[in-house]
Amino acid sequence: MHHSRAPAILAVVLTCFTNSSPRAAECDDLIARHMIGQAMLAAQFVAAAEKAGMMTAQINSVLNTVAAGSAIEEFWITDSAGHAYLTNTGIDFGFSPDPAQQPQASAFWALLDGREKVVVQEPRKREIDNRIFQYVGVAGVDKPRIVQVGVSEKNLPVCK
């Protein structure tokens, strides 16, 4: 498993350690594309797991295992009302469409109401604790929902 990720990780590292600004943009784009893939896989997994009758605790256990063994630190997967009931964080969180209430998280509401299929957010402070995180979300494949993955600045390469 670790060997199959090595070429992708090497590509990110090599792309990120060059100095020109087009390279920085390419590096940021590459990271975002990897995170989109991870969110898309999470969306497919959750749809299949729920269809197969897996309980919330079982799904959250799998999300915990994935987070513990990868650079993805957080999964936030909602129901159709924006409540994140599937997560590895243990935090009860509901997404709001109101940017005044949630300047960072509200951007992902567009996945729930169908305006967007993918939302990529630049690394920024989040509402719950002011840590710097990059979040990428995709729309649910089985029903309206937000499927979001998050990585903190400690696991994000610096693209310059």
Please give the pLDDT value at position 11.
54
pLDDT tens figures, 42-95: 999 999 999 999 999 999 999 999 999 999 999 999 999 999 999 999 999 999
- Of 115, 43, 123, 124, nearest to 86 by C-alpha is 43
Q: Which DSSP state fits 89?
A: S
What would the CATH number be for the domain defined by 2-155? 3.30.450.20
Q: What confidence score (pLDDT) does residue 95 get?
A: 97
pLDDT of residue 156: 83
| pLDDT reading at 14 higher than 80 | no
User: Is the separation of the CB atoms in 158 and 82 below 8 Å?
Assistant: no
Residue 7 pLDDT > 60, yes or no? no
Q: Give the mean model confidence (pLDDT) for residues 19-34.
A: 79
Indicate the domain borders of the chain. Answer: 2-155
CA angle in degrees (0–180, nearest 5) for 2-76-117: 90
Amino acid 40: pLDDT: 98
**pLDDT > 90: percent of the chain:** 70
Mean residue pLDDT across the chain: 88
Residue 106, CB-side half-sphere exposure with 13 Å CA sphere: 8
Task: Kindly state the tokens that stand for 121.
Answer: 């957010």
Question: Any idea what the Cα angle at residue 88 is, between residues 42 and 126, rounded to 5°?
Answer: 95
For residue 126, the model assigns a pLDDT of: 87
Looking at residue 154, what is its pLDDT? 87
pTM of the full structure? 0.84
Residue 60: name the closest of 98, 88, 37, 39 by CA.
88
Backbone angles phi, psi at 114, to 5 degrees: 90, 0
